[in-house]
Amino acid sequence: MNRFDRVTALLIQLQAKRKVSGPALAEKFGVSLRTIYRDLRTLEEAGVPLIGEPGIGYSLAEGYRLPPVMFTREEATALLTAEKLATHLTDAPTAQLSGAAMDKVRAVLRGPDRDHLDHLAPHIRVLGPRDQANRPPVYQQLVAAIAMHRVVHLRYQAAENEASTIRDIEPISLSLSRQWHVVAYCRLRQTIRHFRLDRIQDLELRPEVFEVRPNLLQQHWTAQASRQRERVVLRFQPAALLPALVQHLHDTKHQYGWAHEQRLPDGQLEMTLFIGELHYLATWLLPYAGALTIVEPAALADPLRALAQRAYDSFGRPD
């Protein structure tokens, strides 16, 4: 990066953040602290009102704003990808907001870059279920609750075969794995819980502001990472499976605690996983019946047997 580009990027950083330290800027741009100080002096000489606080960092004077920044073609393409992801992986209100933001990006692009984006858009697709009509429009409400530390009152169904419960929660984070979850302190259970957004049947933001627990989220993730997980060893016979099932096995194994695997001399694939709940793993393994051997733990056969029996009871008995 040449000096002109670095000074411009430095100005953008100052506008994007309330305060930023000299060492942090030096690390970000890969230059010495002395170089950063020289670049900051260049901005001051150009009339940019900088405020420096010893031991804290630098900021722009309140009320100072830059003219609109032009996006590069690559940056606009990255934002287009983000819009596609938001459209398919969140709810309808969030998708609409993302689309509106992308319209503003297009409005400041140069003509050739705007044409490039319009040409590229149909060629970027996010595959998978798109069921926004069936998703509760709660994502933006939860974002607001997290930002304002508002208590959320909700009606929640923990599983399809359980009755819904009424809960007050203190939301602290949103996370996406296979499903969107809100991580929150549950006043009913008096502990941290993960709530799937698609199982929230009704939601209301309460006027009450809850007391922020600064370290609670980090402590929770640390506890999750150190939670005892059961070692599972499985052997698959790829030759006995359809190629699509073999591909599905490799596409999804990381979602089920995959650790490592090895090919055995007889052609079997031995896979080691670490999982918190065996019944969760059983739903993934059932399609591999007939080509799967459980090495350990033997208890994994119980939830698999129960699932197989339910399937037989539903579909296997003649009328």
Q: Which domain holds residue 23?
A: 3-60
| Confidence (pLDDT) at 280 | 82
Residue ranges, the chain, pLDDT below 50: none
pLDDT value at residue 229: 83
- Domain with 30 in it: what CATH number? 1.10.10.10
| Same domain, residue pair 152 and 173 | yes
pLDDT for res 68 = 59
> What DSSP line would sit under the chain, residue for residue?
--HHHHHHHHHHHHHHSS-B-HHHHHHHHTS-HHHHHHHHHHHHHTT--EEEETTTEEEEPTT--PPPPPPPHHHHHHHHHHHHHHHHHS-HHHHHHHHHHHHHHHHHS-HHHHHHHHHHGGG----S---GGGS-S-HHHHHHHHHHTEEEEEEE-SSTTS--EEEEEEEEEEEESSSEEEEEEETTTTEEEEEEGGGEEEEEEEEEEPPP-TTHHHHHHHHHHHS--EEEEEEE-GGGS-HHHHHHHHHHGGGGTEEEEEE-TTS-EEEEEEES-HHHHHHHHGGGTTSEEEEE-GGGHHHHHHHHHHHHHHHTS--
The total number of structural domains in the chain stands at 4
CATH of the domain at 306: 3.30.70
Residue 184 within any structural domain of the chain: yes
Position 129 in a domain: no
149, part of any domain: yes
Domain end residue (candidates: 30, 60, 90): 60
In this prediction, residue 289 carries a pLDDT of: 92
Question: Would you state the pLDDT for residue 152?
Answer: 97
- Residue at 103 is within a domain: yes
Residues 211 and 163 in one domain: yes
Please tell me whether residues 247 and 217 are part of one structural domain: no
pLDDT score, position 161: 62
Residue where a domain stops, chosen among 201, 223, 245: 223
- Asked if the structure places residue 130 within a domain, the reply is no
Residue 134 pLDDT: 60
Q: Is residue 65 in a domain?
A: no
Q: What's the whole-model pTM score?
A: 0.63
pLDDT of residue 302: 93
